[in-house]
Amino acid sequence: QLQLQESGPGLVKPSETLSLTCTVSGDSITSSSYYWAWIYQPPGRGLEWIGTIYYSGSSYSGSTYYNPSLKSRVSISIGASKTQFSLKMTSVTAADTAIYFCARDREGVGTFDSWGQGTLVTVSS
Amino acid sequence: DIQMTQSPSTLSASVGDRVTITCRASQSISHYLAWYQQKPGKAPKLLIYGASTLEGGVPSRFSGSGSATDFTLTISSLQPDDFATYYCQHYHTYPYTFGQGTNLEIK
């Protein structure tokens, strides 16, 4: 059974870099049928897609697609073990305080059929 | 970006009621629309994709319809487990965007 689990610091200082990892079990990140995404949700607010990665087989970075509103600050990559993918967001501010979810994008069409439980990241000094 | 607007923002209903939530896209998205259910402290759960295709394991009291810019999610007979927040999401093109959510609460 597919499971996704986010991990990383729960507190990040303003202007620093947020780094999160999603560990995937029960399925392969390298499967050609799936893409892998990050989505976040500020407290009490709605959902926002951050970006998606697809393992292309040629490099660890994969093919990536980012929300233009965040593109200059985010990067998503696949770990060497091929069981994890990661999010880095630079120059964070209080507005980036949110619950961060990793999710599977079935067949890369944009429907998120499996999600991690989410991890709260607070940006504060 | 394509903007998704849901209505109402809050809906009060009783067990057994038939309820409908509306989602409107700022431009045509064909049938590339999904609906999610989210309960407090939990991740969203995919209910419907392709505007009207029920995800496996989702009760048949949930249904979706619409195309182009106007879509609806209908719950035919509300059950206690259905009180939650519902989001629509388009996947026509990047960037994917979500509606602001509809909070379905007990009357």
Measure in Å the smallest separation between the Cα of B58 and chain A Cα atoms: 12
Whole-angstrom Cα distance, residue A113 to residue A111? 6
Q: What integer best gives the mean pLDDT of chain B? A: 97
Whether the pLDDT of residue B98 is over 90: the answer is yes
Whole-angstrom Cα distance, residue B11 to residue B22? 11
pLDDT the model gives residue A79: 87
Mean pLDDT of A113-118: 97
pLDDT, tens only, A9-57: 999 999 999 999 999 998 888 877 789 999 999 998 999 999 999 987 6
Q: Do B34 and A112 touch (CB under 8 A)?
A: yes
Q: Is the minimum CB–CB distance between A3 and chain B shorter than 8 Å?
A: no
Pairing mode, strands B10-13 and B102-106: parallel
Pairing mode, strands B45-49 and A112-115: unpaired
Q: Do A47 and B46 touch (CB under 8 A)?
A: no
DSSP chain B: ---EEEE-SEEEE-TT--EEEEEEESS--TT-EEEEEE-TTS--EEEEETTTEEPTT--TTEEEEEETTEEEEEESS--GGG-SEEEEEE-SSSSPEE---EEEEE-
pLDDT bin (cut points 50, 70, 90) of residue A60 is: low
Residues in chain A within 8 Å Cβ distance of B49: 111
SS3 content of chain A, % helix, strand, coil (to 5): 0, 50, 45
pLDDT bin (cut points 50, 70, 90) of residue A116 is: very high
Measure in Å the smallest separation between the Cα of A110 and chain B Cα atoms: 5
Backbone phi, then psi, for A46, in 5-degree steps?
-85, -175
Q: Kindly report the CA angle at A66 between A65 and A68, in degrees rounded to 5? A: 135
Q: Is the minimum CB–CB distance between B43 and chain A shorter than 8 Å?
A: yes
pLDDT the model gives residue A86: 96
**Of the spans A61-70, A104-113, B93-102, which averages the highest pLDDT?**
B93-102
Distances (CA, A) of B60 to A3, B53, B56: 25, 11, 10
Q: Using CA of residue B56, residue B11, residue A100, residue A70, what is the dihedral sign?
A: positive
pLDDT the model gives residue A65: 94
Which residues lie across from A84 on neighbouring strands? A23
Portion 5-24 of A in contact with B at CB < 8 A: none
Portion 77-106 of A in contact with B at CB < 8 A: 101, 103
Pairing mode, strands B4-7 and A18-25: unpaired
Residues in chain B within 8 Å Cβ distance of A117: 42-43
Mean pLDDT of B101-105: 97
pLDDT, tens only, B4-38: 999 999 999 999 999 999 999 999 999 999 999 99
CB pairs under 8 A between A and B: 54
Mean pLDDT of B58-78: 98
Partner-chain residue, chosen from A67, A101, A118, that has the shortest CB–CB distance to B95 = A67
